[in-house]
């Protein structure tokens, strides 16, 4: 019992120590310093976009605003970083909107399978009133959305057999993010959803803890999961964007001028990131082909029909969310 109490005390002190080190927002010598942590590799296009955001913030403020970027989970996992934002110990992070649904449930709408007709439809939704509504959805949880980043389309990659139709997933353990929406999606195809931390996924694939996973081409390449999974089936079941978020505890102490600098820098980084993403997808597909990955393009219609189970359940259990689905589909 004493050991348990001591362990909890050590953990609590560790969090306090980390919070003290981070100092989400400070202004030594009149310079506003914002710390931005994320879990991606430095070769990832989203990391490059965050560096661009930092560059633009410095440029717009004539050096009065410095955004310090910490990649590779240096400051914690995705969930830990969001929690640090909530207490104001970290200024900013990039988060998948799938992970955000645990903090702002309304955002789970963006993780629904085959929600968007095409890229143009997705862009209209995210850049319009619905997108603004979703960026603001986390504010009551101390998380303000600044902009969306393109995270492409997610498809299945597997170790032993390709996924050409929903039936091919039946019996497979498929890694998913810690997202009820992702769990429901894989279950609608007949698979066994298995939440695993992205940082632990390579080992989980090697050891056969999971039979496969689902993600976009750049993430498949930068994670080197293709070294284990030799089948990539581009059924493109979801198009879940990333979101750049800032702690409202930090945002609220910024001056109006500082808010303008940061928002403009974020908006411009999103435009830059979309271009980087397009280039990265093309390069990633080339790398996968050269590595001998078996790439297939299955008919999406059977997957789309199977995914309707998700919407049928939503219509009964969550009519407000289903109403938003209909609004997006009509947009």
What is the distance between the alpha carbons of residues 167 and 194, in angstroms, rounded to a whole number?
Answer: 18
Among candidate residues 65, 126, 100, the one with its CA nearest the CA of residue 271:
126
Cα of 151 vs its chain's centroid, Å: 7
List, in sequence order, every beta strand (DSSP E) within the chain: 25-26, 32-37, 65-70, 92-96, 143-149, 154-158, 173-176, 192-195, 212-215, 231-238, 242-247, 294-296
Mean pLDDT of each 10-residue bin along the chain, 331 residues long: 36 43 77 96 91 98 98 92 96 92 89 94 96 96 97 96 96 91 92 92 97 96 96 97 97 98 98 94 97 97 94 94 95 90
The CATH architecture annotation of domain 154-239+283-330 reads: 3-Layer(aba) Sandwich (3.40)
Q: Cβ contacts of residue 264 below 8 Å, gap of 6+?
A: 56, 60
Which class for 81: exposed (0-12), middle (13-18), buried (19 or more C-beta within 10 A)?
Answer: buried
Enumerate the domain spans of the chain. 154-239+283-330
CB atoms within 10 A of CB 97: 27
Convert 140-158 to b/e letters by CB count within 10 Å (16 or more is b): ebbbbbbbbbbbbbbbbbb
- Strand-pair category, 65-70 with 32-37: parallel
Instruction: Assess contact for 283 and 128: CB atoms under 8 A.
Output: no
Convert 209-222 to b/e letters by CB count within 10 Å (16 or more is b): ebbbbbbbbbbbbb
**Helix, strand, coil percentages, rounded to 5, for the chain:** 55, 20, 30
Which class for 280: exposed (0-12), middle (13-18), buried (19 or more C-beta within 10 A)?
Answer: buried
What is the distance between the alpha carbons of residues 22 and 17, in angstroms, rounded to a whole number?
Answer: 9
What is the distance between the alpha carbons of residues 76 and 84, in angstroms, rounded to a whole number?
Answer: 9
What is the distance between the alpha carbons of residues 240 and 167, in angstroms, rounded to a whole number?
Answer: 23
Calculate the dihedral angle through the C-alpha atoms of 321, 322, 326, 328, rounding to the nearest 10 degrees.
30
Instruction: Tell me the pTM.
Output: 0.85
The token pair that represents 282 in the structure block? 């093309």
Tell me the CA distances in angstroms from 32 to 52, 166, 174, 257, 262, one per residue in order: 17, 51, 43, 12, 11
What is the distance between the alpha carbons of residues 17 and 110, in angstroms, rounded to a whole number?
Answer: 35
* pLDDT for the residue numbered 45: 86
* pLDDT for the residue numbered 143: 97
């Amino acid at each position: 019992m004493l050991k348990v109490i001591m362990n909890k005390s050590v953990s609590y002190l560790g969090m306090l120590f980390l919070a003290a080190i981070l100092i989400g927002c400070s202004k030594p010598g009149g310079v506003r310093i914002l710390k931005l942590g994320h879990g991606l590799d430095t070769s990832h296009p989203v990391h490059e976009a965050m560096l661009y955001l930092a560059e633009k913030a410095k440029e717009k403020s004539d050096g009065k605003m410095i955004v310090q970027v910490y990649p590779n989970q240096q400051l914690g996992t995705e969930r830990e970083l969001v929690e640090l934002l909530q207490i104001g110990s970290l200024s900013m992070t990039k988060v998948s909107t799938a992970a955000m649904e645990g903090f702002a449930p309304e955002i789970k709408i963006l993780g629904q399978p085959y929600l968007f007709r095409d890229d143009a439809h997705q862009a209209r939704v995210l850049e319009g009133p619905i997108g603004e509504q979703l960026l603001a959805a986390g504010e009551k949880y101390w998380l303000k959305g600044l902009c969306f980043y393109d995270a492409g389309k997610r498809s299945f990659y597997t170790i032993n057999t390709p996924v050409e139709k929903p039936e091919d997933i039946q019996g497979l353990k498929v890694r998913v993010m810690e997202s009820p929406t992702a769990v429901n999606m894989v279950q609608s195809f007949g698979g066994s959803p298995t939440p695993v931390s992205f940082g632990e996924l390579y080992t989980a694939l090697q050891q056969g803890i999971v039979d496969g996973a689902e993600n976009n081409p750049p993430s498949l390449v930068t994670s080197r999961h293709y070294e284990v999974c030799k089948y990539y089936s581009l059924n493109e079941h979801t198009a879940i964007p990333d979101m750049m978020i800032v702690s409202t505890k930090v945002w609220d102490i910024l001056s109006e001028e500082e808010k303008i600098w940061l928002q403009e820098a974020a908006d411009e980084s999103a435009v830059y990131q979309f271009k980087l993403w397009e280039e990265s997808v093309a390069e990633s597909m080339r790398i996968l082909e050269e590595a001998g990955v078996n790439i297939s393009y299955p008919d999406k219609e059977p997957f789309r029909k199977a995914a309707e189970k998700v919407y049928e359940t939503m219509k009964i259990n969550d009519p407000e969310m289903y109403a938003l689905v209909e609004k997006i589909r009509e947009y």
